[in-house]
A = this chain, B = another copy of it.
Amino acid sequence: MQLTQSEATRRAAQAQQILDGKTKPLGALGQLETLGVQLCVIQNTLTPSIDPVRALIFGADHGVAAEGVSLFPAEVTAQMMANFASGGAAICVLTRSFGVQCEVLDVGVNADLSGLAGIVHAKVARGSGNLRRSPALTPEHLVQAMGVGAQAAVRAFKSGIKTLVLGEMGIGNTTSAAALICAYTGASPSEVVGAGTGVSGAALALKTTVVAEALTRTAKSGNAKPAAREILAELGGLEIAALAGAMIEAHTLGLIVLVDGFIVTAAALAACQIEPATRANLVFAHRSAERGHSIALGALNATPLLDLGLRLGEGSGAALAVPLVRAAAAIINDMASFADAGVSNVDAGVPHGQS
């Protein structure tokens, strides 16, 4: 499903032409039209199909949690994996509510979850290293974690899945995501580091210092800017690497990818720096309340669908956008054209959109 740029442009123009013939003023469905065109390009079709949809929720622990960067103790990662398995977490409620499958993967939780039924056991290591003081991931762990994500995408594809909702769980991972966003965009820690689970005051200042020191540490390793994969290994986490691996593979497979908030967008930055073509398949679901998110979205030239002040993670924002993606496809597939419906259209010379 690798279109050339000119093939993609042609497909997009065909899709927009179909939308322009529907019984509505030109451009009147706004971002739903932009999204519909993107869906046609991703699937190289003029009749996009969204379902079945599967959420992939990757869980892992972070060595940096030992620095006191989260309001919650690190044990909460494992506790939340059990909450996912028993269906009580927000992402479980949302996926059930919207008819979305939910697959939870242990890619690096610092606990023995082997007895926990209902999740995929794909543990690469019991958490990442403390990025303030050492690389978060070894080169081997990076490859393995990206592989866990890629394999989950392949498994979904083989099950007939058309759309992935990507989410995560990991106490400490807003610190890792903030460091990655700084490293990939050049923004400063004071612009990007935010409240995460709710830190403020001295704890927020500490979190900013931790990110700043991590960036200094990794910058020291050479004069040249490190490659995208090196940055991901130095500052990432096992679940973030898995998310990046899932996105890159999803592009190869022609899957639609719904990107959640701050952490998944940090993974998207990594994926798009490693493999720029990945960007075409990413649908950005929402603008998080976490302050650095807008910087990451801007770097990806992304206009998200929702802006509800969410800052939960788990893929919750991505799941909430699933009905909008279905609606965008339904408009293209099922809405009547002026010709079908015998409705008078305005002259063809009218400019597109409001003016």
Contacts and interface: CB of A to CB of B under 8 A. Distances in A.
Interface of A: 22-26, 28-32, 71-73, 75-76, 79-80, 82-83, 86, 88-90, 93-94, 96-98, 194-198, 200-201, 289, 305-312, 316, 320, 322-324, 326-327, 330-331, 334-336, 340-344, 346, 350-351, 353-355
21 contacts: A24-B90, A24-B312, A25-B196, A25-B312, A26-B198, A28-B197, A30-B308, A80-B343, A89-B335, A93-B327, A96-B334, A97-B326, A98-B323, A98-B327, A198-B346, A198-B351, A198-B354, A201-B355, A307-B307, A320-B324, A322-B323
A349 B167 CA distance: 29
A90 B354 contact: no
Contacts of A326: 97
The 6 closest A-B pairs by CB, nearest first: A88-B336, A30-B309, A323-B323, A195-B354, A200-B355, A28-B312
B341 A71 contact: no
B25 A311 contact: yes
A249 to B, nearest CB: 28
How many copies of this protein are present in the complex? 2
A232 to B, nearest CB: 26
A30 B195 contact: no
Given A97-B327, A200-B355, A350-B198, A90 B335 contact: yes
Contacts of A71: 25, 346, 350
A310 B354 contact: no
Given A26-B198, A90-B335, 20 more contacts: A23-B80, A23-B83, A23-B89, A30-B309, A30-B311, A31-B308, A72-B344, A75-B344, A82-B342, A83-B343, A86-B341, A93-B330, A94-B327, A94-B330, A97-B326, A98-B327, A195-B354, A198-B353, A200-B355, A320-B327
